[in-house]
Chain A
Amino acid sequence: MAKARAIIKRLKAVRNVRKITRTMELVATARFKKAMDRAIQAAAYTRKISEIVADLSETIGEGSSLSHPLLQQRDTEKKSILLVITSNRGLCGGYNGGVLRLAQGRIRECRSNQVDLNIEVSGKRGIGYCKFQKIATSASYTHFEDKPTFEQVDELASRYIDSFIRGEIDRLDVAYTQFESMSRQKAVVQTLLPIGKLQSGTATPAGDKPKVEYEFLPSPTEILEEIVPASFKARLFKCFLDAAVSEQIARMVAMKSATENADGMIRSIRAQYNRARQSQITSELSEIIGGAAALE
């Protein structure tokens, strides 16, 4: 009897775990939808910005006198910042691992090139990893949950812009998970400062639309100077939004396979239990028969 009861106990434990993973999957699905909506809504701003930038650069003319401190590539790279965006919570499969592996690569690269690297980490998982690997971090944030607000990101972005213009840093990289589609998210290290190209290639359609003569208030160059920081902020914000969406997808997928695995385990444990019960009954029967035979 003891064996069958132990199996029942395990069955119950697995069932409980399944309940938890199933709930987490549902929660992640709901959160993913919300995060996705936010990301889609935010995309309107980025799209508009690149539209204006395209119009502006068309007017100014390609490659002419466009100089903004944020656009300038520095000759020597001495000091750099790496912002690592991870999640606050675990149980999301390879989400954090992928980002941290890439971040580690960048850290190694900086070390071998003798670049002074400041590491900033967002998310408890990344902070824990750095502590474990004994990587010194210069700042850590845990307040970017699955709903990063622009205000929070704006604060960070302004600080980066200031220190880049003052020459305190020569480069800013962000390690995060890029959202490509529902079924594809990729961990990347992206260089946000200096801004290589203002226009992201996908946002500008081919020049089949008629050229519009705009009136500029103030001059195109001045507007462009204002729009560069705004564009940077929008990009950094997009990184955070992408990371939030990808996290929820990763958790959804991880929890889905955990639930399926639990289902399989329940099935095999139930078979095991039935077999144990049957063998117990058989042995009891043969004991009774044996006893009866002995009495005759």
Chain B
Amino acid sequence: MSTGDKLRLVIVTPERTLLDEPASALRFPLYDGDIGILPGRLPLIGRLGCGELKVTNSTGHRSFFVDGGFVQVLGSTISLLTHRAVPVENLVVADAEKQLAAADGRVARTDDEVKAKLADQQRARRMLHLAKASH
């Protein structure tokens, strides 16, 4: 499948368009698990989870940490709308550890608080995992 990059990946954050480049395959987390995108994917609108976005193009792999948002696949264009997308090289282990500790230490009383706590814990764990893997 190395016949050029047939997909176009656009990552948009509220502040700016972070990335607009060709890709040949993608993998990123949806709300309930990872999804892979290859050229020829049918149109899709989905909710993102948090975790690793892996971009494969003709020059190799790149990874980002994405933190929630939405995805739209239309034709060969994949638009990711996310609050935050950080290249994994820029993730700092200590920061992720701090966030995890903060989430762990929080006392949750109501259902909503428990849900938020679990989500934060999960996000921090994934971030930590990615940060460690990249260093």
Binding site for B on A (CB under 8 A): 38, 41-42, 44-45, 48-49, 51-52, 55-56, 149-150, 154, 212-218, 220, 222-223, 226-227, 230, 233-234, 237
Contact = CB atoms under 8 A, between A and B. Distances in A.
A66 B64 CA distance: 34
A237 B14 contact: yes
Contact of B43 (A44, A212, A233): A212
A48 B12 contact: yes
A55 B15 CA distance: 23
A42 B14 contact: yes
Most buried by A among B12, B16, B45, B74: B45
Interface of B: 12-17, 30-32, 35, 42-47, 69-70, 72, 74, 79, 81, 83
Given A42-B15, A149-B15, A237-B14, 5 more contacts: A44-B12, A45-B12, A45-B14, A52-B45, A217-B35
B47 A218 contact: yes
Given A48-B81, A55-B45, A233 B14 contact: yes
Chain B residues touching A, majority SS = strand
3 cross-chain pairs, A with B, having the tightest CB-CB distances, nearest first: A41-B16, A217-B46, A150-B14
25 contacts: A38-B15, A38-B16, A41-B15, A42-B15, A44-B17, A45-B13, A45-B14, A45-B15, A49-B81, A55-B72, A212-B43, A213-B43, A215-B42, A215-B46, A216-B45, A216-B46, A217-B30, A217-B31, A217-B44, A217-B47, A218-B47, A226-B47, A227-B70, A230-B69, A233-B14
B40 to A, nearest CB: 14
B70 to A, nearest CB: 6
A140 to B, nearest CB: 24
A5 B43 CA distance: 79
Contacts of B74: 212
Contacts of A233: 14
Contact of A234 (B14, B35, B44): B14
A159 to B, nearest CB: 14
B44 A214 contact: yes
Contacts of B47: 217-218, 222-223, 226
Contact of B13 (A55, A150, A220): A150
Nearest to A153: B14
B119 to A, nearest CB: 13
A212 B43 CA distance: 7
B79 A48 contact: yes
A38 B13 CA distance: 12
Most buried by A among B30, B74, B81: B81
A45 B45 contact: no
Most buried by B among A49, A56, A220: A49
A237 B49 CA distance: 23
A223 B45 contact: yes
Contacts of A52: 45, 70, 72, 81
Contacts of B16: 38, 41-42, 44
Contact of A56 (B17, B43, B45): B45
Contact of A230 (B30, B45, B70): B70
Nearest to A217: B46
B73 to A, nearest CB: 8
Contacts of A212: 43, 74
Nearest to A149: B15
A249 B73 CA distance: 38
A41 B47 CA distance: 22
